[in-house]
Amino acid sequence: MLFEMTLMKFDVYQLLDADPILGPICFSLFIFTIVFVCMTMFITIISDNFRVVRNNLKFNHNHDQQIVRFMFNKVQRWTKIGHDDQWREYEERDQQMRDQYYDPIESFPDKIDQLLDSLNRVLEYN
């Protein structure tokens, strides 16, 4: 019934029949409280998001330049226009980084063996 009251879909006569004085007073307090809380929450959400967007606009210009530069470099690579030496250096550096990548799954069986050995030593000690 309270949710219906906030939507203004309720029977007023039931409220008046319950208590002719206290019913409308409680109803008015409830509606003012709900409207106040909802409006405050709505305004807070709007103002917080407005502040976030305004802060993002300050930094957006630099980000846009990076995106345009990235897209321009990609087009150059696809069309084979530009600095081939630079792209080769990047590809070599990428390959070196991939070679240095350490895959933890490869060392998993060794780690399990170490764990089992340690557990055996603890059990033998006790």
For the chain, give percent helix, strand, coil, nearest 5. 85, 0, 15
pLDDT at residue number 54: 82
pLDDT at residue 107 is higher than 90? no
pLDDT at residue 25 is higher than 80? yes
- For 49-53, 58-62, 108-112, which range has the lowest pLDDT when averaged over its residues? 58-62
pLDDT at residue 27 is higher than 90? no
CA distances, 86 to each of 16, 68, 77, 89, 116 (Å): 83, 19, 10, 5, 50
* Interval 115-122 mean pLDDT: 91
CB 15 within 8 A of CB 27: yes
Q: How many residues does the chain have?
A: 126
pTM: 0.37
DSSP letter, residue 102? -
